[in-house]
Structure 1
Amino acid sequence: MIDLAAGSGVAAWVLVLLALAGASLGAVTGRALAVADYRIESDEAGPPPRHWWWPAVAVGLLWAVVGWRIGDLAGWAALPAYLLFAWLTVALVWIDADVHRLPDGLVLPAYPALLVLVVVATAGLGDWGVLVRALACMAGMYALYFLMAIISPSSLGFGDVKLSGLIGLLLGWVGVGDAFVALLAGFVVGGLIAVVMLVGRRVGMRSHIAFGPSMLAGAFVALVVQYQLVA
């Protein structure tokens, strides 16, 4: 059974401050991304996206969502990991939508950074079994995506595989059910996007559609809703 998550219960003014801080960071990020310095010679892309303003809206919204869901969990020690992930989400969505590539320069450094932050969050929580669960979900999701990429390399790239471990880590820290919802929601969102783009004739049946944005959207769907096994 899937229901709306309970939330952390933090004050509304905290969420407003988080949204404003996220919007400020998102505006700077959008300006930097609009230059398209992330492009490499092998990328096949048209003119760089010019709408630099939407990362400000997206980061502000996601920081408010993270504040609502994670908030003061573990004495506020868990919040930094999810704020970093929210910012990373917006940057990766921009890049993957533009050039169909999840750059190692963002994804790989996120592993040690988020691992350190998750360890700090676990120390604040005082339950080291949560860290074991998060690492298990990270390994499990990575292995699953790796297998799918081997079976169908035209559908999933190894950038998606690398990203899956980060999603497994952070959603697994919240709960196994959350990691499961993130996995499922990623494919549901991806399917919906593909149908919309096909109906709108934005792509053809053989076109490649970036899957990273769907995976990341699925992760935040999993933070907003809560999965419960009903006997």
Structure 2
Amino acid sequence: MREVLWPLVAFLFGVGAARRARLVIADVNFRGTGFFRGTFHTAPGFPVLVGLLNAATVHGIALRLNGFFAMFAFMLFSTNVLQQVAVDIDTHLLPRSRSRGAAATGLFLLFLASSVQAEWSRWWWAILGAWLSWAVMRVFRLLSRGDLGGGDVTFAMMTGLHLGWLAIGNVVLALMVSFVIAGVQALVVLLVRRDRRHFFAFGPALGAGALLTVVFEASIRSYLGG
């Protein structure tokens, strides 16, 4: 039953997230603070697509997690990731305030989940995961000389928080998957545009790496021989 109920709720949350993403994108475009003006969010089926992606992700999460607070935390996590990715695709901007808000909410819900399940070590692993993900992306931002923004670093911190709660190794695994996806994305952009100066959003790769790791952790580890 829970494998059906949670995805249904996630679909509704996903549709709402898509609509909020449209508002954020409109505000960014109005203020002129973005680095790109895409039209993906204007597609008629955009809210339904985000809702379906959220439902599918949460269905996978429901197969591995138990407990209301843990499920609620990760449903909101998936919803926030998809919303932020949608904004980044069409603006190349990840608002740090939204990632911080999602991290604060996640930290509180994961605290409740750890308390109910009497697994306090998970909460401390979550904090360590947030710091580790932030630190790794901070280093890459310095090495990129501006190609990675502060929004990417804060977004990674938010994803690391949730990944660390599951297992600290998931933080490293998700970052590996993210960089593979980003590499493929860069190759496609290079082949299609043939413009080495073209920049692309890194948020979608970070988000995809995080969600894929949450849902398919065992399969990814098996593929990597771990």
State the TM-score bracket (shorter-chain normalisation). Answer: 0.7 to 0.9
Shift, 1:85, TM fit: 1.6
* Structure having greater relative contact order (Cα 8 Å, sep ≥ 6): 1
Gaps of 5+ in 1: 1-9
Identify the range of structure 1 (58-67 vs 207-216) with the bigger mean alpha-carbon deviation. Answer: 58-67
- The letter of the residue matching 2:210 is A
Matched, 1:38 2:28: yes
- 1:52/1:128 Cα in 2 relative to 1: closer, same or farther (>3 Å)? farther
Matching of residue 135 in structure 1 with residue 152 in structure 2: no
Which of 198, 222, 230 is residue 213 of structure 2 equivalent to? 222
Aligned twin of 2:68: 76
Q: Which residue of 1 aligns with 2:8?
A: 17
Are the counterparts in 2 of residues 26 and 56 from structure 1 also a CA contact under 8 Å? no
Work out the CA distance in 2 between the residues paired with 1:12 and 1:74.
Answer: 11
Instruction: Please identify, of 106-115 and 56-65, the stretch whose mean Cα deviation from structure 2 is larger.
Output: 56-65
What's the secondary structure of 1:200's corresponding residue?
Answer: helix
Q: Distance in 2 between matches of 1:194 and 1:212?
A: 13
Provide the alpha-carbon RMSD of the alignment: 2.6
Percent identity between the two aligned chains: 27
Deviation at 1:171, TM superposition (A): 0.7
Q: Tell me, which stretches of 5 or more residues in structure 2 are unaligned?
A: none
8 Å CA contact 2:7–2:58 kept in 1: the answer is no
Which TM-score applies when normalising by structure 1? 0.82
Structure (1/2) with the larger helix percentage? 2
Q: What is aligned with 2:81?
A: 89
1:183 matched to 2:178 = no
Moved over 4 A (4+): 228-231
**Aligned residue pairs, count:** 220
**C-alpha deviation, 1:156, in angstroms:** 1.5
Q: 1:218: Cα distance to partner?
A: 0.3
1-structure distance, mates of 2:46, 2:108: 29
